[in-house]
Amino acid sequence: MMRFGMFGSAQASRGGPDTDSGAGFREFVERNIEAEALGYHSTFLVEHHFTGFGQVSATLNLLTWIGALTSTLRLGTAVTVLPWHNPVLLAEQIATLDLLSGGRVDAGIGKGYRLKEFEGFAMPVEEADARFEECLEVMLKAWTSDSPWSHQGKYWQYDNIVVEPPSTQKPHPQLWMGAGSPRSVKQVAKLGFNMLLGQYDPFDMIVDEIAMYKSEVESLGRTFDPMNVAVARSVNIVNSNDEYEEAVNNRMAARRRTQKHALQSSFQDTREATEAGIIYGSLEHVTKEIQALRDVGIEYVLLNCPAGISTLRHFAKDVIPSFA
């Protein structure tokens, strides 16, 4: 049986005193409550800063609110960018959410990729790898140490501390790590974490990444479980060519908006690159594309739905039963 979750972000609105800035956040919360009732397994929220278009920045705060209003939905981050956070405070916050939600946290972690965000935090992007590794080391120590411990690192120092509270999941909340290169795929496998694959990655790239992850996991003497890999896809069920064209054009605009903050040299501003990471089309086409994912061993898909709850309803009613 395939597993389906959600991937995305709420959006707040700027404006004057007559602007309902929180409407987008409230709609997003309601969407998650209904999605749980529709049978979705999880929700994974992004963390982004300084965008100017209201993306979620305080991800754990929003997940806590969603967690209080749901009972089975897994609460994921995709991803929390470790270099920007104090590792002890972050470990405490994640453990608190795990405790309050009854062990429903899927802590997705990553190194970050948007140059403008690193600049906003006055942090050299060249430090991302080292900060990520040290932050993760401290967090794991915080979650698994019952007696006082110390840490004297390059970026963080702690002396004789015990971090509280303990998490419900043992020895710590489920850990997921974003991967987008052979090096990061191998790192996820070596660390023993679950793997998140991004919504912009083309199909062939995902196939190669999963094959590499499986090979690395098995070479380390562990059993590969396809449910330990979640693939994000942008999904849109459309009924005409005009609707398809509008959806693709909106997707291209969204990719350009992201690139203004990411400033990635590898970015390809083409229709082909946009269509490589989407599942847009008729109900029959969407079902066929999900089957294609399953045929290459993908059993866990995270839906990013530009059309919102209407797509989630349609997908739950007419697609998910085919993969039960």
3-state SS assignment for residue 177:
strand
Residue 8 burial (CB count, 10 A): 24
Q: Which amino acid is at 74?
A: R
- Please report the pLDDT score of residue 54 as a whole number: 86
Q: Give the range of the structural domain holding residue 179, as residue numbers without chain letter.
A: 3-230
Q: What share of the chain is helix, strand, coil (3-state, %, to 5)?
A: 45, 20, 35
3-state SS assignment for residue 6:
strand
Supply the DSSP symbol for 173: S
Residue 315 burial (CB count, 10 A): 24
Which DSSP helix (H) or strand (E) runs through 271?
A: helix 271-275
Per the structure, the count of domains in the chain is 1
Tokens 């605009």 map to which residue? 253
- Please report the pLDDT score of residue 168 as a whole number: 98
- Tokens (6 digits) for 11: 């959006």
CATH of the domain at 52: 3.20.20.30
- Please report the pLDDT score of residue 207 as a whole number: 96
Tokens 């898909």 map to which residue? 301
Answer yes or no: is 51 within a domain: yes
Residue 292 burial (CB count, 10 A): 13
* Phi and psi at residue 53, to the nearest 5°: -125, 25
Answer yes or no: is 322 within a domain: no
Answer yes or no: is 96 within a domain: yes
Answer yes or no: is 240 within a domain: no
Answer yes or no: is 85 within a domain: yes
Output the pTM of the full model. 0.96
Between CA 16 and CA 19 the distance in angstroms is 5
Between CA 323 and CA 69 the distance in angstroms is 28
Answer yes or no: is 164 within a domain: yes
* Ordered per-residue pLDDT tens for the chain, 324 residues: 999 999 999 999 998 999 999 999 999 999 999 999 999 999 999 999 999 888 999 999 999 999 999 999 999 999 999 999 999 999 999 999 999 999 999 999 999 999 999 999 999 999 999 999 999 999 999 999 999 999 999 999 999 999 999 999 999 999 999 999 999 999 999 999 999 999 999 999 999 999 999 999 999 999 999 999 999 999 999 999 999 999 999 999 989 988 888 888 888 989 999 999 899 999 999 999 999 999 999 999 999 999 999 999 999 999 999 999
Q: At what angle do helices 59-68 and 23-38 cross, to 10 degrees?
A: 50
